[in-house]
Structure 1
Amino acid sequence: MNRQKFSGMKETFLQRRYGVRLGRRYVLTAASVVLLGVLGCSQVNGDKSALAQSPAPNSESVLPKKTANPDTKLVKANNKFGFKLFSEVLKNESSDKNIFLSPSSVAIALAMTYNGASGSTQQAMAKTLELQGMNLAEINSAYSDLKQLLENPNSDVRLNIANSLWANKNAKFQSDFIQKNKDYYKAQVTNLDFQDASAPNIINNWVKDNTQGKINKIVDNIDPNQMLFLINAIYFKGKWSNEFDKSQTATLPFNLASGQQKNHPMMSQDGDYRYQENAQFQAVSLPYGKDGKFSLYIFLPKQNSSLKSFYQTLNAENWEQWMTQFRKREGSIRLPRFKTDYEVTLNDALKALGMGEAFSNKANFSGIGKNLTISQVKHKTFVEVNEEGTEAAASTSVSIVATSAVQKPEPFKMIVDRPFFCAIRDNQTGSVLFMGSIMEPQ
């Protein structure tokens, strides 16, 4: 081969090779500039578009089959915290009231806040949230992965998780705190004039949009010392894998804890279910969608027991054990249609769980800004269960203020005609998204 021909081939090779590399570098740089531009645009200008979130990344393109493994430490921590929180809330509510929580929503909102906690305040929050043994980078990364695994844009089962930070435009915050919440929690960050009378409506509209109108308000008014709101919203809508036949729904008695009865629409169905039974309760898993990734778990105390007795055994350790004991079994289920909403301020419950310092003048949120404390953790939920499936929503607001068998068993029959416990669980990760005490179906 002559030298001229070799030289030409070499030049062509170099142009092709480094031209491609150069082109990729330009594409990556342009994408980074756009991303930074979006992240930096957080000032409210009165235009509704200023509140619009950047389109959520398509989790299917990144994780087509969602084969990534969840961080089991975080899932166990969240579930343990969730059952502790549920127990504390039960103590402060009347025994005949319906209770419905989203421990996942509360945990996420507090995890965003945790990014700004320091010293003994951080230690107290870690203990309450069961995050001991995990460093901040590990926690944030695990939450980022868990959000991707949980979110489900399926037509049969939909789960959306949204986060936001609403900052007083006159306050200064640590840029690292803001950036971590953007990066790991995909939080929308907006600077807002808290003295403007329309500010609460702007925040509430975001909550309304991200819960499909099921929760309309999380902020009633804004205190003069208010510096920051950290808000999580979760929306779930799932069709049963096997829908209940509406023609089988009949008005039948439901036995209240008081001993009285009320007539109520009861749905009925026969089939094969994941089921378990012991001396204390019957339990069944009712799956959503084609793949059964999510399920509604119903725990019904036996006639000679009670929901109060059941709650004495309801904790994360027993829950994990119970989850392994479900077996496929033929049977019938009768379940009330029900719809309820619930609202609770979690200050007292979180203080009882060891987070009191975070609500006091001794609070150390130096990672957010100077002289800050939590004034309120507010939680709202909605759930409706009917023949088609389940719709549920939750929002949590953290307000930051300035301090001043071998043999086939017989078919079971489970008639849920008395108070019961229920939970919506992601069966892939084990995350308990919602849990509730239904004393009287409405």
Structure 2
Amino acid sequence: MLTAEGVSREAAPSDAPVPQVVQGMTAFGHALHAKIAEPGENTVISPLSIAYAYGLARAGAAGETGARIDQVFGFPGQGPHTSFNSLTADIITVDGVPPKPDRGERDASDGEPADPIVGIANGLFAQHGLPVKQGFLKTAKSQYDAGVHAVDFAGDATKTIDKWVTEQTAGRINKLFDSLDPDTKLVLANAVYLKADWEKPFTAEPAQKAPFTLADGSRKTVELMKQSGNFRYAKGSGWQAVELPYAKSDLAMWVLVPDAGGAPGDLLKAETLQQVGSNLADTRVGVFLPRWDFGTDLDLLPPMSALGLGAGGDFSGISDGLTLKQAVHRADITVDEHGTEAAAVTGLAFPVSAAPEAETTVRADHPFAFAIVHKKTGAPLFMGQVADPAKK
């Protein structure tokens, strides 16, 4: 694996602008969700995974491209890199490949909740021989703990990348791209994995069959898990929310329920989530929650284009000529009476852009002059003319 020589992961600085990055990431998550979510369709995305991927790309983005990334994600002017380093240190529970859990049936009396597993990984996969710049390698290693895997995009690169994805998501997601452009020279990837048990599992009372009203007003019968207890609860104009904490961690799920007929996606706005967090208070609550198990596969480029950040751009800070050609995101989640397992991957693929079309032409097909000069001083080392290049 290629990394910057003598560089290791840095300790996260205490003054990293984490709140600004989190605020921007949250606003981005809602904006993306609003672009892709269809009424009546399940949706899951990981703003964290997408932001990590574009944050790492930001380390090699030049000029206007970097400014556009900052605008879409709300990144601070000095770059998000130390903040992502700090977030990783605060969030992860495993350093390296997460263990693959036993996904068999669990008994209601399965004892103490398990320790949570949270992993965040960043991967770089570059064509053999692609010259990756040292400044980018330094940031990738020191802030994202990422080095470059040399691969052959005309050969087994896809298998190598998919193996990495499978390992980093504990087998929940097994591929990144459906297919890669044959001109790809670099893939930048992020993976996020979570496995956490509820602090209070939904196992004391049996689930009950109940109607679930769909977006079109029709109903279907589902099983609702239920429990009563002291939970942190908040309500506002047109919504209510309950916090379901995960055991042995600072993690929790906020279940955000709009009033009948309300749009659930509206509750993901940054200002609403901030209001929820500020108003949660201990309350005796009866919680009725369905199980769910689904995933979302997303071509990121169309919605990202709508948000102002599509294909193209200048990523010459990674390697000369790199431009963004493909962006994908996959996420899935399983929620049951015991807890939650979820995974997400984000991939950005970069070919080397073709040389720009010439603005004019210099055609030395008749007698011409030449000069060999020292550029700094202009001193002519050699000069002359070519009247007949075939003549010795």
For residue 386 of structure 1, the aligned residue among 303, 311, 336 is 336
Number of the residue aligned with 1:257 = 215
| 1:70 Cα deviation after fit | 7.1
Structure 2: how far apart are the matches of 1:229 and 1:390?
Answer: 29
For residue 129 of structure 1, the aligned residue among 73, 85, 96 is 73
For residue 180 of structure 1, the aligned residue among 133, 139, 143 is 139
Distance of aligned partners of 1:314 and 1:161 in 2 relative to their CA distance in 1, 3 Å threshold: closer
| 1:69 Cα deviation after fit | 8.3
Contact 1:182 1:189 in 2 (8 A): no
Structure 2: how far apart are the matches of 1:80 and 1:394?
Answer: 19
| 1:298 Cα deviation after fit | 0.7
For residue 82 of structure 1, the aligned residue among 29, 37, 40 is 29
For residue 164 of structure 1, the aligned residue among 110, 123, 140 is 123
Contact 1:68 1:149 in 2 (8 A): no
| 1:68 Cα deviation after fit | 9.2
TM-score, normalised relative to structure 2: 0.79
Structure 1: how far apart are the matches of 2:316 and 2:16?
Answer: 34
Distance of aligned partners of 1:69 and 1:296 in 2 relative to their CA distance in 1, 3 Å threshold: farther
Contact 2:68 2:309 in 1 (8 A): yes
Contact 1:174 1:369 in 2 (8 A): yes
Comparing 240-249 with 111-120, greater Cα deviation is found at 240-249
- How many residue pairs match? The answer is 334
Q: Is the aligned partner of 1:273 residue 2:231?
A: yes
Structure 2: how far apart are the matches of 1:206 and 1:289?
Answer: 28
Larger relative helix fraction: 1
Structure 2: how far apart are the matches of 1:313 and 1:208?
Answer: 32
| 1:263 Cα deviation after fit | 1.9
| 1:76 Cα deviation after fit | 1.6
Structure 2: how far apart are the matches of 1:246 and 1:167?
Answer: 51
Number of the residue aligned with 1:200 = 158
Number of the residue aligned with 2:325 = 375
Once the two structures are superposed, the pairs formed by residues 272-311 of structure 1 within 5 Å of their partners are 272-291=230-249, 293-303=250-260, 305-307=261-263, 310-311=264-265
Structure 1: how far apart are the matches of 2:254 and 2:223?
Answer: 20
Q: Which amino acid aligns with 2:20?
A: K
Q: Is the aligned partner of 1:335 residue 2:289?
A: yes
Contact 2:329 2:344 in 1 (8 A): yes
Contact 1:270 1:332 in 2 (8 A): yes
Contact 2:205 2:226 in 1 (8 A): no
Number of the residue aligned with 1:144 = 85
Structure 2: how far apart are the matches of 1:273 and 1:279?
Answer: 20
Structure 2: how far apart are the matches of 1:222 and 1:290?
Answer: 40
Q: Which amino acid aligns with 2:85?
A: S
Q: Any idea what SS the aligned residue of 2:49 has?
A: helix
Structure 1: how far apart are the matches of 2:230 and 2:185?
Answer: 53
Number of the residue aligned with 2:47 = 103
Structure 2: how far apart are the matches of 1:156 and 1:85?
Answer: 32
Q: Which amino acid aligns with 2:326?
A: Q
| 1:141 Cα deviation after fit | 1.5
| 1:150 Cα deviation after fit | 1.0
- Aligned-pair Cα RMSD in Å: 2.6
Flag structure 2 segments of 5+ consecutive residues without an equivalent.
Answer: 95-112, 355-392
Deviations 1:332-371 (A, max 9, x none): 1110011011111111211121223xx13xx221201222
Q: Is the aligned partner of 1:217 residue 2:171?
A: no
